[in-house]
Amino acid sequence: MIERAMPLETRPGDLRFPACPGPVTIAGMSRPTKLDSGTLEAFLAAHEGWARSGEALTRAYAFADFSAALGFVVRVGLAAEKKDHHPDIELGWGKARVRWTTHDAGGITALDLELAETTDALFRG
C-alpha cells in the first residue's frame, strides 16, 4: 500500500520560522545566514587568492602533479564532510579550484569563510 504524504502544513513536528537575521534552527541544526558585503570584503582583503564569484568564494590551487591535486581534493572533501557543508571542486592535472557557498542562505556565510580558511590550511599542509 502506498501512503500519500501529508501536506507540509499538517506534518507532525513541523516548525515555522519568521524571517529573522540570525541562524535558523531545524531539528537542532543551526544554519548560518548570508554575510554582509563589508564582512566579505574584509575576509577577501585578509586572504590572498580568494575571490568572490557571484554568490560564492573561489580559489584556484596549483600542484606539482595530478596525484598531489587529488590528495588535496580528498582532504578538502573529508573536512567538508565533518561540517556537512560541501564545496564545488574542479580537479585537473596539477590544479584544483574550490568554490564555497551556502545554497540555503543564498550566498556566502560564516561557514564558507571558516571552510575557506580550512582549505588554505590543508593546502599549506
- Residue 57: CATH number of its domain: 3.30.1360.20
Q: Is the pTM here over 0.95, yes or no?
A: no
pLDDT tens, position by position, 94-111: 999 999 999 999 999 999
Number of domains observed in the structure of the chain = 1
Q: Is residue 25 assigned to a domain?
A: no
Query: In degrees rounded to 5, what are phi and psi of residue 103?
Result: -60, -40
φ and ψ of 28, to 5 deg: 80, 5
Contact assessment for residue 25 and residue 14, using Cβ atoms and an 8 Å cutoff: no
| Range of weakest confidence among 104-108, 114-118, 120-124 | 104-108
Q: Quote the domain boundaries for residue 78.
A: 33-124
Within 13 Å, how many C-alpha atoms sit on residue 112's CB side? 30
